[in-house]
Chains A and B, each alone.
Chain A
């Protein structure tokens, strides 16, 4: 796991109960790495009164209890964080078993100029990392996607994507935790339960989790619950 130095972010105002930290990276990929390093550092060095951390594409939202602390004190604590993170993965590797039969697999192959077999091979190759969760509880944005698979979203989003759909869009790979609308390119399905409120933590893939995909060899593949 590469270690990224913890950046000194710009502190943007965000009301009387939060600050928004923005990293100054040259491009989107580096910004994700810097946000991850900042998030890991703040988890490792908890700041009094902070109640929520929300990592995103190039920002980390720090929500605090205004009865306990202030934006200025939180900002000072951020500046004082150790600048070299122990950025080793703080979460165990999760393997996700996928059946590559997504409705957009052929389209992704055409747009990438690859065979479907090559799309699958390139999707299986990297070890991904959860950059952040957004869109829905447990919907992890995975970085590490092969450049050939970095494609725009579908022009027309689907009104219903099944739970467990494995998809790619822009810089990311993601897995839909539950059925719902979605515009990502569907390449496969998994039986993995991404979200379970009775589990601790409820998300299978919290931020910082390393992830590998393995091809499902079962004849029947994941169930269709849709």
Chain B
């Protein structure tokens, strides 16, 4: 296959992702896939791709790609300045690129992850049915490096239906909605209140596996059979797991399939993309909602 998309500068971290590989959790492989699924799907829709087409996920901008033939591309996610050769371009709006042109994305003012979709989708070889790199299981197309040349697939022949998609970038003050988790009963009312009383801070140890948060410690009641820890059990994206330190971890796309600490709550599916856009230092608030 002919390479079309050349990675000129991969920035901090540049990955190929799609909607992941569901169905393999019983073999120890999680779903993985784009961390911010909303921005990822939007990028594909804007260039007429199927939603499952593979695209590039990058972190904190400062990336550059050269295109070796005429293509239509779209950028979504944490918006940064865009240059196409000497022209400007925008996030959330598809634009044409001529052969040989360079697309540069600068650092976003807020948010963490950006997506670059190319009409047709990226055609790198799938692994176990998906073109997603799982950073924990280390399965899939490996992280992109400068000089990598990516072929296109045949995942996009839909019409270009929008010149620009209105996207309201969420305010960091909007709480993430949380449903009581399977082990919420191990935490007393004080701990359940503490989760929502004051904001937590996203720490620098956060990644696609999860957000490691710092703030009010949550402690499971010591009266439980195995307080603090429990036999390993299945984990989900959005789960807020509480290790013995009491500092919660919010699991994202590459979370471990099983974990041995109690899950106090689970962020609703619709709010997970917003969690995936939080960067170290950002505050994060939670709000309990009914299941």
Query: Which residues on A are within 8 Å of B, measured CB to CB?
Result: 12-18, 20, 22, 28, 39, 51-61, 63, 66, 71, 132-139, 197, 201-203, 206-207
* Cα–Cα, bound, A12→B291 (Å): 11
Q: Is there a chain A Cβ closer than 8 Å to B22's Cβ?
A: yes
Q: In the complex, A63→B184 CA distance in Å?
A: 19
- A52-B233 contact given A15-B181, A15-B239, A206-B26, CB 8 Å threshold: no
Please determine whether B25 and A53 come into contact, CB atoms closer than 8 angstroms: yes
List chain B residues, Cβ under 8 A from A138.
27-28
CB<8 Å pairs between A and B, sample of 17: A13-B179, A14-B263, A15-B181, A15-B236, A16-B179, A16-B266, A16-B269, A28-B231, A52-B23, A54-B258, A59-B182, A63-B236, A133-B28, A136-B137, A137-B28, A137-B139, A201-B27
Q: Known contacts being A56-B258, A138-B27, is A16 close to B127, with CB within 8 Å?
A: no
Which 5 residue pairs across A and B have the least CB separation, nearest first?
A: A61-B234, A15-B266, A54-B234, A57-B231, A12-B182
Q: What chain A residues lie within 8 Å of B53 (beta carbons)? A: none
Chain A contacts for B235, CB-based, 8 A: 54, 61
Residues on B with C-beta less than 8 A from A63 are: 22, 25, 234, 236
In terms of DSSP, what is the predominant structure of the interface of chain B? loop
Chain A residues whose CB sits within 8 angstroms of the CB of B291 once the complex forms = 13, 16, 71
Report A-chain residues with C-beta under 8 Å of the C-beta of B233: 20, 54, 56-59, 61
Q: Which residues of A contact B90 (CB under 8 A)?
A: none
Are B269 and A66 neighbours in the complex by a CB distance under 8 Å?
yes
Interface centre among B139, B231, B263 (most CB of A within 10 A): B231
A14 (CB) vs chain B CBs: closest residue: B182
Q: Flag whether B267 is at the interface (Cβ < 8 A).
A: yes
Chain B residues closer than 8 Å to A135, beta-carbon distance: 28, 258
Are B236 and A202 in contact, CB atoms less than 8 angstroms apart? no
B212-253 near A? 1/0 per residue, CB < 8 Å:
000000000000000000011111111100000000000000
A203 contacts B28, CB within 8 Å? yes
Of A58, A61, A206, the contact of B27 (CB 8 Å cutoff):
A206
Task: Indicate if the CB atoms of B181 and A137 lie closer than 8 Å.
Answer: no
Q: Which residue of B lies closest to A12 (CB)?
A: B182
Report the Cα distance A39→B25, complex, angstroms.
13
Instruction: Report the count of interface residues on B (CB-CB < 8 A).
Output: 36
B236 / chain A contacts, CB cutoff of 8 Å: 14-15, 17-18, 61, 63
Checking B22, B26, B127 against A133 with a beta-carbon cut-off of 8 angstroms, the contacting residue is B26
Question: Contact at A203–B27, with CB atoms within 8 Å?
Answer: yes
Taking CB atoms, residues of chain A closer than 8 Å to B23 are 51-52
CA distance A72 to B28 in the complex (A): 26
- Judging by beta carbons under 8 Å apart, are B182 and A55 in contact? no
Cα distance A136–B268 in the bound complex, in angstroms: 26
State how many angstroms separate the Cβ of A83 from the closest Cβ of chain B: 22
Partner of B268, one of A16, A39, A203: A16
A22 and B263 CA atoms in complex are apart in Å by 14
B residues near A22, Cβ cutoff 8 Å: 182
Q: By the criterion CB–CB under 8 Å, are B27 and A137 in contact?
A: yes
Task: Judge whether B268 and A15 touch: CB under 8 Å.
Answer: yes
Are B28 and A139 in touch, CB under 8 angstroms? Answer: yes
CB distance from B35 to the nearest CB of A (A): 16
A132 to B27, CA, bound (A): 8
Chain B 249-291 per-residue mask, 1 if CB under 8 angstroms from chain A, else 0: 0000000011000010011110000000000000000000001
Kindly state the separation between the CA atoms of A56 and B263 in the bound complex, as whole angstroms.
15
| Alpha-carbon distance between A57 and B184 when the two chains are bound, in angstroms | 19
Most buried by A among B25, B263, B267: B25
A23 to B266, CA, bound (A): 21
Contact status of A14 and B266, CB under 8 A, knowing A134-B28, A202-B27: yes
Q: How far is the CA of A131 from the CA of B127 in the complex (A)?
A: 26
Q: Which chain B residues (103-155) contact chain A, with CB distance < 8 Å?
A: 127-128, 137, 139
Alpha-carbon separation in the docked complex, A57 to B237 (Å): 20
Partner of A60, one of B22, B29, B234, B239: B234
